[in-house]
């Protein structure tokens, strides 16, 4: 038997304790919802502020973006052991990305809400968008600091989480134009296409880095299953629909782009649910005991 196939044995005294990589399950779909909310909301605010076809469209996109961030936060509040102490999260700005994420909220929601009542897209929208991007970046760094869990803490997670959020938000933003009704701007479609391409590049780099880092096999398998289902439907198809929409033009074009946008958002959400609820495996600990013994013996 090789070192990589070393098997761990749980004991009766410590049920569930095994030296093989365990899965972290305390962060469930509610935690995933917070990451969905932060990413989609930031992407929608960015798309709305830069490329909304009209002030009416801006209000729909930004309003929806703010609501999605808020829903994500409510979900994570429901997961806190002691929600009554939630304000304690502001105590560690020097070290914790969770605290920093919290500090992005007042300007995100305050300026975001004010921007909905402005006659034109202006400073309030810009401040809210910048806050949302900071919020999203903090979420990426929260995962990056989860040092016990390779699929979350690997450095390549940061760009992946950021561009995934932008793709989700840009997708939903163009989709809303079909309901306002309005026509997506060229800028909005370019943002969606660019975010999708970047998401695909970031995904490939992330997967390659995880394999190189010898991440737990169960986490790799969960991510591979996600890729099989969602890379064609969440990245490829939205790109095709976006191009088809541009070529078709008119109502059919708007519908095609909107459908592509929805799929792009769904692909991102599915990834986050997989990442948080199925790929959160700890580092393998078992390797260390025998490896430590072998190293110590080699030194003596």
**Which is nearest to 78 in space by CA: 32, 113, 42?**
32
Asked if 173 contacts 222 with a C-beta cutoff of 8 angstroms, the reply is no
Q: What is the DSSP letter of 12?
A: S
Q: How far apart are CA 179 and CA 254, in angstroms?
A: 10
Identify the residue among 119, 228, 250, 297 touching other proteins (CB under 8 A): 297
Looking at 145-235, list the stretches that DSSP marks H as alpha helix, in order from N- to C-terminal side. 150-153, 157-177, 186-212, 217-230
Asked if 218 contacts 162 with a C-beta cutoff of 8 angstroms, the reply is no
Binding of residue 209 to other proteins (CB under 8 A): no
144 exposure class (CB count in 10 Å sphere: 0-12, 13-18, 19+)? middle
Asked if 158 contacts 140 with a C-beta cutoff of 8 angstroms, the reply is yes
Tell me whether residue 106 or residue 145 sits nearer to other proteins (CB atom): 145
Smallest distance, other proteins to C-beta of residue 142, A: 7
Binding of residue 106 to other proteins (CB under 8 A): no
Give SS3 for 182.
coil
Asked if 271 contacts 230 with a C-beta cutoff of 8 angstroms, the reply is yes
**Segment near other proteins (CB under 8 A); pick from 52-60, 88-96, 104-112, 199-207:** 88-96
- The site map against other proteins for 50-79 (x = CB under 8 A) is -----------------------------x
Identify the residue among 41, 43, 65, 102 touching other proteins (CB under 8 A): 102
Binding of residue 86 to other proteins (CB under 8 A): yes
Identify the residue among 80, 186, 221, 247 touching other proteins (CB under 8 A): 80
Looking at 80-156, list the stretches that DSSP marks H as alpha helix, in order from N- to C-terminal side. 97-103, 105-115, 123-144, 150-153
Binding of residue 288 to other proteins (CB under 8 A): yes
Binding of residue 96 to other proteins (CB under 8 A): yes
Largest separation between any pair of C-alpha atoms in the chain? 77
Smallest distance, other proteins to C-beta of residue 238, A: 31
Binding of residue 14 to other proteins (CB under 8 A): yes
Binding of residue 145 to other proteins (CB under 8 A): yes
Binding of residue 229 to other proteins (CB under 8 A): no
Identify the residue among 2, 117, 119, 250 touching other proteins (CB under 8 A): 2
Binding of residue 142 to other proteins (CB under 8 A): yes
**Could you tell me how many residues of this chain bind other proteins (CB under 8 A)?**
60
* CA-CA-CA-CA torsion sign (124, 68, 220, 25): positive
Residues making contact with other proteins (CB under 8 A): 1-3, 6-11, 13-17, 19, 22, 24, 26-27, 79-83, 85-86, 88-92, 95-99, 102, 142, 145-149, 152, 280, 282-283, 285-286, 288-290, 292-297, 299-300
């Amino acid at each position: 038997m090789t070192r990589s196939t070393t098997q761990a044995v749980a004991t009766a005294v410590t049920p569930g304790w095994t030296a093989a990589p365990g899965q972290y399950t305390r962060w469930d779909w509610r935690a995933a919802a917070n990451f969905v909310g932060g990413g989609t909301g930031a992407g929608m605010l960015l798309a709305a502020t830069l490329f909304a076809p009209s002030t009416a469209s801006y209000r729909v996109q930004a309003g929806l973006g703010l609501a999605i961030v808020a829903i994500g936060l409510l979900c994570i509040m429901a997961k806190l052991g002691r929600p009554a102490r939630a304000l304690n999260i502001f105590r560690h700005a020097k070290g914790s990305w969770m605290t920093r994420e919290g500090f992005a909220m007042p300007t995100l929601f305050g300026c975001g809400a004010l921007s909905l009542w402005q006659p034109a897209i202006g400073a309030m929208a810009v401040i809210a968008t910048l806050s949302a991007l900071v919020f999203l970046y903090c979420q990426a760094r929260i995962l990056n600091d989860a040092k016990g869990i390779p699929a979350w803490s690997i450095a390549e997670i940061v760009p992946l989480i950021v561009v995934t959020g932008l793709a989700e938000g840009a997708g939903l933003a163009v989709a809303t134009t079909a309901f306002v009704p309005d026509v997506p701007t060229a800028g909005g479609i370019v943002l969606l296409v660019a975010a999708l391409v970047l998401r695909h590049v970031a995904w490939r780099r992330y997967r390659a880095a995880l394999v190189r880092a010898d991440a737990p096999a169960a986490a790799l398998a969960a991510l591979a299953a996600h890729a099989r289902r969602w890379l064609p439907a969440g990245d490829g198809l939205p790109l095709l629909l976006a191009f088809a929409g541009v070529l078709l033009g008119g109502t059919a074009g708007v519908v095609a782009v909107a459908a592509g946008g929805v799929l792009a958002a769904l692909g991102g959400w599915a990834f986050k649910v997989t990442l948080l609820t199925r790929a959160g495996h700890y580092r393998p600990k078992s390797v260390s005991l025998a490896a430590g013994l072998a190293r110590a013996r080699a030194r003596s």
